[in-house]
Every structure is written in structure tokens, then in C-alpha cells.
Amino acid sequence: MMINVGTDVLGLVHPLGENYVEDYVPVTDDAGVETCEITTGPKGHTENRTVTVSQKRSGEVYTELAAVIVSSRNQLANARSFCTATEDAETLADHFIPPIAD
């Protein structure tokens, strides 16, 4: 099954849905390339991105986005491990401010 997707300048794929024309404002340039602006990111930290609209097989999109999830998990685990190890290596003596002499 073919689905509507938007691809941004970073090559990231964003599923747009069947009725994307109602949800977004698509614009077609002189070359016939359709683009629209979407909002991505978690609440409070969203950003607008312009994407190129196309159709892809739903299985391809699923495989690509599933790989993003796995990659994100691995990066998050690595970052968490590094930060925890760094915090554990710190000691109070490293941050101790000596008292002023009486």
C-alpha cells in the first residue's frame, strides 16, 4: 500500500496521512514538486520543517522508522551510560570550597 510522506532536507521521512491536504498547506512549484510545512518535535520544543511530498510503500516507511527507533534507543543508552559514569566519578572533594580562615 502506498502512503503519503514528507521528506525533509535531512532525509528524514514524516508520514503525512491520507488527508494531508486538509491538515497542511501543500504548494506545488513550477517543476511540479509538491512541498508543505509540518511541525515536528515534542510539545514545547516543536519546530517547523518544509518537506517534499511523495508516496512510498508503507512497508518501506515502517522499516525505516523502526530503524530510527532502535538507533535512538542505542544513542540514548550510550549517553545515559556516559553521563552516569561521569557523575559517579565525581567526588565531593572535587567541588569542595574550603572555608575562609577565622
3-state DSSP of the chain: CEEEEEECCCCCEEECCCCHHHHCCCEECCCCCEEEEEEECCCCCCEEEEEEEEEEEHHHHHHHHHHHHHHHHHHHHHHHHHHHHHHHHCCHHHHCCCCCCC
- Sequence ranges of the domains in the chain: 2-90
What average pLDDT does range 36-44 have in this prediction? Answer: 89
Question: Tens digits of per-residue pLDDT, 55-102?
Answer: 999 999 999 999 989 999 999 999 999 888 887 777 666 666 667 765
Instruction: Indicate whether this model's pTM tops 0.75.
Output: no
Question: What are 1-35's pLDDT values in tens digits?
Answer: 999 999 999 999 999 988 899 989 999 999 999 99
- pLDDT for the residue 95: 62
